[in-house]
Structure 1
Amino acid sequence: MADVQDGRTSSSCYLDGWGDALRCYRIAVGLDATAVELSVTVAPAVNDVGREPLYLLAGGPGQAASDLAPLLNAFRRINRERDIVMVDRRGAGHSAAFRCGFERDMPVDLQSFSRQLARCYLQQPQFAEALSSRQAVEDLELVRKTLAHERIALWGGSWGTRTALLYQQWYPDSLSALVLDAVAPIDTKVFLTATAAERAMQILERDCAGDAVCAGLGNWRGDLDQLLAGWNAEMAARFPDPVTGVPAAIPLPRWALANSIRAALYDPAAAAQLPYAIHQASRGNYLPLSGISGLFLNTADGMAMGLTFSVACAEELNRITAEDVVADSKGSFLGSAFYELFHSGCQGWPVTAKPYSVPESRAQPVLLISGEADPITPPYYAEQALAYLSRKQHLVVPGGGHINSRRGCIPELIARFLNAPESPLDQSCVAEIRRPPFMADAFGPALGGKLGGEPQGGGL
């Protein structure tokens, strides 16, 4: 049923991952080829006591804020007294998603990938050129005014932290506080990921060595280095499809294998399976490693790839040099595999560069959250690149991967911060957060602390 308040029309709606009724708005933005209706979803406060709303900013770039609905479960305490607002940025989710067809099939051949992107670009070149972080921030400010919110708090995850930091630069008077999870600072080249991924892998090695079960797998890291160094056409052709378990129709290239291992490091539960899966792969059994790669099969489904490349090519790839790539790749298992995907795609996505200004000092209270073993936005980004923020606190989750707002006591600490952003948080509970148990054999973690026998076949 539609509802009209202060000239704003909304209707009751629902999102996957959240059972309660929400309020949905459609707000027109842009002109001609760039015109869309922004999809805005609000989880109303249970008790409206006048607290500033919390806006959730999604990552990617290319993810929709409406996909963050499951996060509302962790933020129930926040939602008791605050509206939580999700704005699908232009080109994502329900705001004219610019998908390019990759949700149906993601090519593993980089040339095919680049050609498909180029065809997609030619279908909407004006829209592709218009999509940017500046546009997203301007749209967000329009939504704030349309919903009559005097000031707002922002939660950003991954690339959403970049958007939040830019909003803080351009509209500081509209902002009360920020919560930044997996921080991508404005002046950091976050698409150079090899060094961060290698650091995350070394932390996994450290934690595995301290676990009796995982340590029993031997030198699995050496096995990984040999596997990637020796990856050849015969091995690629044998690598199983994660759904069927039989050799995939298209052989798996090395860059895709390395990226699937990097992706597993995002999630501590998946990372806990890597030592066993790599141990098995070094012995010719690729099924466990294929199963892990299958956990991330639908990653492209949640990304509007047209938006992803409009932002990435104009705001990240254009400022990365060949020398940067060499320095970042040196000594890492990933090498240039992640960069190659975006470099190849940007060849067919000719948007103009959109550089940022040097960040100016800002005084809003900021809560930074990092995973100790995050393979793309490591803690040192938050510690070394945000000197212009004068009032910040930093939570580092032991063994944590990418995005930690739902883990352990972190939701409680976020709620406390938003209610009293000037007060130092008691962080002692963060140290109690633990990695999931390491996988011992084909049946999962060990029971009773003993390493299981070699599998007779099968995958995870």
Structure 2
Amino acid sequence: MVWMRRLLFVAVLSCGLGVPGSVVGQDEPVSSTCYLDGWGDSLLCYRISVGADANAIELSVTVAPAVNDAGREPLYLLAGGPGQAASDLAPLLNAFRRINRERDIVMVDRRGAGLSAAFRCGFEREMPADLQSFSRQLAQCYLRRPQFAEALSSRQAVEDLERVRKTLGHHRIALWGGSWGTRTALLYQQWYPEALSALVLDAVAPIDTKVFLTATAAERAMQRLERDCARDAICAGFGDWRSELDQLLANWSGERAAQFPDPVTGVRGAQPVPRWVLANSIRTALYDPAAAAQLPYAVHQASRGNYLPLSGISGLFLNTTDSMAMGLTFSVACAEELNRITADEVAADSTGSFLGSAFFDLFYSGCQAWPVSAKPYSAPEERAHPVLLISGEADPITPPDYAERQLVYLSNKQHLIVPGGGHINSGRGCIPDLIARFLNAPQDSLDQGCVAEIRRPPFMVDAFGPALGKGVGVERQGGQR
């Protein structure tokens, strides 16, 4: 069930300027002209050798060169997952055009991801419907490359990033991290503070935070969706759709699970859809405000036996995680996250949430088949680099509380909270301009007034989408719903 595999692995889980980002006295490495999907301009591509013996590979490094060489530090983009490729962040360059005018933007595919020897396990072809089959397939993948699996880690990613910085001749760099990329950025800040000028962290996963305990965050995101729906005249017409969702999940089995349609064909799938898959697909929809705006209508329809709208929402994410390398995902998640989470913590996190333990169960099951050693972090030390934090108010995995309460060791930070925002908000509204202003003058306080103007997309009113005019939704509140 290819669509099941794809929707489950959405990304998890992104000092003054001083010295310009120029060379440090070594020859320029050889590059070639290349292109990436989502960005129309030409790029510079490098291949940089790292590792030794069986773990030796060439890192893929892609650079969007500055339009005007103003001597500013380059901005490195760090992808999430863990397991996503930085080269798949190329569409973000469109939002960062202002930044790119005077700065190189660098994308490094970390070892085991994207164009840097992606460690895939075959789940892009088919995702088993039961966790036991999933674990067996994952175990077979591990046995094909056990040394490579053990070597992959955040420490390795940071060391490789430092190797790239030196090879490209950058004296200091700025980092943008998204989701798990924020964890990588924070670790780089700990280990190479002298090489860093500023940080932009979008959807923050602090070093000490157990972000794979996501049920409580997902529940709070759902509650914010409920609140905003109740304040909307159109959406409020769906009544108590949240209770309908709870009943749907509580009674999800047998014929209901078998009737759930494939989001591409619209016909009944060959296998029943398990509850843990359905719950995760609903959680995934909360990542994107446009998808979340469709949930009340889709749940209301599903409670009446029409599962097509809910299936269609899961189909929105079919192509978002093709770059996720599952070998890398589990090497990092099992060694750095799952091993430090207790059963009591899972129970406490799951209680009262629509998600329950559905997200954690997938990774717990996988880590039983992926026996990498634990790789704990040291307690973070105080740092004074300028840091811009960006959070979505309704992020279902890295809520604003993480940035507000769990980064006390960062003494020079500003925080943007996007109303109704989901997971990753760097491309929304005025946020790209604020990021550009921050990077150019990181010691200055930003005027955040424009952030409050960012709104959720309009709620879906029926199969045709949102209401297009005043009163349209009211007219359709009868039989159409």
Distance 2:176 2:432 in 1: 12
Note the residue ranges of structure 2 that are not aligned, 5 or more in a row.
1-25
- Aligned counterparts, 1:248-397, within 5 A: 248-397=269-418
Cα offset for 1:112?
Answer: 1.3
SS in 1 for 2:388: strand
Number of aligned residue pairs: 453
SS in 2 for 1:301: coil
1:174 paired residue number: 195
Distance 2:316 2:70 in 1: 42
- Aligned counterparts, 1:124-163, within 5 A: 124-163=145-184
2:8 paired residue number: none
Distance 2:478 2:187 in 1: 51
Distance 2:362 2:320 in 1: 14
Distance 1:340 1:454 in 2: 40
- Summarize deviations over 1:175-225 as a string: whole Å, max 9, x none: 000000000000000000000000000000000000000000010000000
Distance 2:125 2:99 in 1: 36
Which of residues 112, 123, 134 is equivalent to 2:144? 123
Which has the larger displacement, 85-94 or 99-108? 99-108
- Summarize deviations over 1:104-136 as a string: whole Å, max 9, x none: 222221111111110000000000000000000
Cα offset for 1:49?
Answer: 1.1
TM-score, length-normalised on structure 2? Answer: 0.93
2:120 paired residue number: 99
- Summarize deviations over 1:14-53 as a string: whole Å, max 9, x none: 0000111100000000011111100000000000010000
Distance 1:22 1:14 in 2: 6
SS in 2 for 1:100: coil
Cα offset for 1:78?
Answer: 0.3
Cα offset for 1:323?
Answer: 0.2
* Residue 209, structure 1, aligned to residue 230, structure 2: yes
2:216 paired residue number: 195
Cα offset for 1:296?
Answer: 1.8
- Summarize deviations over 1:335-360 as a string: whole Å, max 9, x none: 00000010011111000000000000
1:450 paired residue number: 472
TM-score, length-normalised on structure 1? Answer: 0.97
Q: Which amino acid aligns with 1:188?
A: T
- Summarize deviations over 1:54-102 as a string: whole Å, max 9, x none: 0000000000000000000000000000000000000000000001111
* Residue 17, structure 1, aligned to residue 38, structure 2: yes
Cα offset for 1:301?
Answer: 1.2
Distance 1:129 1:352 in 2: 7
- Summarize deviations over 1:399-457 as a string: whole Å, max 9, x none: 00000000000000000000000000000000000000000000000122432367889
1:72 paired residue number: 93
Distance 2:358 2:56 in 1: 36
1:55 paired residue number: 76
* Residue 224, structure 1, aligned to residue 263, structure 2: no
Note the residue ranges of structure 1 that are not aligned, 5 or more in a row.
none
Structure 2 CA distance for partners of 1:455 and 1:64, relative to 1, 3 Å: farther
Distance 1:99 1:300 in 2: 12
Cα offset for 1:300?
Answer: 3.9
On the 8 A contact 2:113/2:323 being kept in 1, the answer is: no
On the 8 A contact 1:441/1:453 being kept in 2, the answer is: no
2:22 paired residue number: none
On the 8 A contact 1:441/1:455 being kept in 2, the answer is: no
Q: RCO higher in 1 or 2 (8 Å CA, sep ≥ 6)?
A: 2
Q: Which amino acid aligns with 1:265?
A: L
Q: Which amino acid aligns with 1:429?
A: C
Q: Which amino acid aligns with 1:450?
A: V
CA RMSD of aligned residues (A): 1.2
SS in 1 for 2:403: helix
Cα offset for 1:374?
Answer: 0.1
Cα offset for 1:299?
Answer: 4.1
SS in 2 for 1:9: coil
Q: Which amino acid aligns with 2:472?
A: K
Q: Which amino acid aligns with 1:382?
A: A
On the 8 A contact 1:103/1:298 being kept in 2, the answer is: no
Q: Which amino acid aligns with 1:377?
A: T
SS in 2 for 1:81: coil
Cα offset for 1:293?
Answer: 1.0
